[in-house]
């Protein structure tokens, strides 16, 4: 029997320790401005649950999370009892009924999945008609993403981004799964890997980053808002 494997972050301990506070995603908050606070929201691949916590604190009490690896959120739910997070697989949300949510979002998750099309299909299933689907993904063609994969392969013998998306590719997958894209926001950056505070020679890496951004400043990622049709 083949064991299901997802691209869990190689540096998971660091991810957990550095994501213990409410975290905002401006793109999502812009969409939620003026929305009824009673809407049902699902964060698929919520990690520690820091974005779920922020939304709950802002009054969106019907926000819940799904995360494949319980190690990610144990500390957060121990400290914040209002958090509702369930262990689950983004590609098989079988415990959620059809058309249960008004909004589903997926922040920096699809690139970690072996079958992202299934996750998108499941998001479509659990969304109500005309429900919104917000995703954030890195640009797989950006040199920063390519170099990160090389570094991870050397250090960890594997990389946690199992997929490389372009805007054209993700748009095609969304349309094939009966989503209509209504907004796309591109995030431009250079080699942000040099800004990682874990780099020992941080004093040197920042000037390198400042130099490189003058010659290479591209779309490092995409925020996309689509609706179920």
Question: Structural domains in the chain?
Answer: 12-193+219-228 (3.40.50.150)
Closest by CA position to 162, among listed 145, 179, 176:
145
Q: How far from the centroid of its chain's Cα atoms is residue 203's Cα?
A: 29
- pLDDT, residue 200, reads 79
pLDDT at 5: 54
Three-class DSSP labels, the chain: CCCCCCCCCCCHHHHHHCCCCCCCCHHHHHHHCCCCCCCCEEEECCCCCHHHHHHHHCCCCCEEEEECCHHHCHHHHHHCCCCCEEECECCECCCCCCCCEEEEEEECCHHHCCCHHHHHHHHHHHEEEEEEEEEEEECCCCHHHHHHHHHHHHHHCCCCCCCCCCHHHHHHHHHHCCEEEEEEEEEEECCHHHHCCCCCCHHHHHHHHHHHHHHCCEEEEEEEEEEEC
Q: What is the pLDDT along the chain (229 residues), one digit of tens a residue?
A: 344 455 556 677 888 888 999 999 999 999 999 999 999 999 999 999 999 999 999 999 999 999 999 999 999 999 999 999 999 999 999 999 999 999 999 999 999 999 999 999 999 999 999 999 999 999 999 999 999 999 888 988 888 999 999 999 999 999 999 999 999 999 999 999 999 877 778 889 999 999 999 999 999 999 999 999 9
The predicted pLDDT at position 8 comes to 58
- pLDDT value, residue 169: 97
């Amino acid at each position: 029997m083949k064991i299901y494997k997802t691209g869990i972050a190689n540096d998971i301990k660091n991810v957990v320790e550095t994501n213990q506070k409410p975290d905002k995603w401006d793109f999502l908050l812009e969409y939620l401005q003026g929305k009824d606070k009673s809407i049902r929201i699902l964060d698929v691949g919520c990690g520690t649950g820091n974005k779920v916590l922020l939304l709950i604190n802002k009054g969106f009490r019907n926000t819940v999370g799904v995360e494949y690896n319980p190690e990610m959120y144990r500390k957060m739910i121990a400290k914040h009892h209002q958090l509702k997070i369930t262990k689950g697989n983004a590609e098989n949300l079988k415990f959620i009924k059809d058309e249960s949510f008004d909004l589903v979002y997926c922040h920096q998750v699809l690139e970690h999945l072996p079958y992202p099309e299934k996750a998108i299909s499941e998001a479509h299933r659990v969304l109500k008609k005309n429900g919104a689907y917000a995703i954030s993904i890195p640009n797989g063609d950006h040199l920063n993403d390519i170099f990160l994969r090389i570094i991870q392969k050397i250090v960890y013998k594997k990389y946690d981004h199992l997929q490389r998306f372009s805007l054209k590719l993700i748009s095609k997958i969304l349309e094939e799964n009966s989503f209509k894209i209504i907004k796309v926001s591109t995030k431009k950056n250079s080699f942000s890997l040099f800004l990682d505070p874990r780099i020992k020679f941080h004093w040197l890496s920042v000037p390198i980053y400042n130099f490189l951004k003058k010659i290479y400043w591209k779309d490092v990622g995409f925020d996309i808002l689509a609706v179920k049709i």
